[in-house]
Amino acid sequence: MKPGLRKFALTAHVTCSVGWIGTVIAYIALAIAGQISPDIQTVRAVWIAMELIGWYVIVPLALISLLTGIIMSLGTPWGLFRHYWVIFKLLLTVFSTFVLLLHMPLVSSLARLAEETDPTGLSRLPNEIFHPAGGLLLLLLIVTLSVYKPRGITPYGWKKQQKQHNHL
């Protein structure tokens, strides 16, 4: 990958990944506000906001982070299957995105319920902190892998490395 294109892809990847983390933190703040607020309108607004942030911010950032991460790994010497830390990052990102996509329809149905339910029913809405908190922990683990890049070359990576050394 040419340096200009690589820098553009890296910028897009880092921006979307950091944005994903930031919006998950905002989502957690909304979830907490929805749990502790005694005001019915606030609880309704929180659920509507969580649905909007989920579908229109978190999901696109997750998908773009996944796509740009794959592009970055294929276009750089790190490769997609050469290092275990890259594979773990990929698997954790795919898992996080998959769980997010499975969870968002529930958030949408709970947002509809919050809009339509009489005030006494709002107290029965579930606590929405578990999923985003778990997601945040996974995202922080992914960042940690990116920064520390633990050693460990896969058998495929070792073969590629030997092939490059033999051509020198």
133: which 2 tokens?
């908190």
Please, which residues have CB within 8 angstroms of residue 80's CB and are 6 or more apart in sequence? 70, 73, 74, 86, 87, 90
pLDDT digits (tens, 9 = 90+) for 88-118: 999 999 999 999 999 999 999 999 998 887 7
Q: What is the pLDDT of residues 29-42, one digit of tens each?
A: 999 999 998 888 99
Pick the residue with more confidence: 143 or 40?
Answer: 143
User: How many domains does the chain fold into?
Assistant: 1
157 or 122, which is more confident? 157
Joined tokens for residue 107: 């958030």
Nearest to 62 by CA among 86, 103, 93, 89: 93
Higher pLDDT, 3 or 144: 144
Query: Percentage of residues in the chain with pLDDT exceeding 90?
Result: 65
pTM listed for this prediction? 0.89
Helix/strand/coil for 153:
strand
pLDDT at 168 over 70: no
Instruction: Provide the residue range defining the domain that includes 135.
Output: 3-166
Amino acid at 51: E
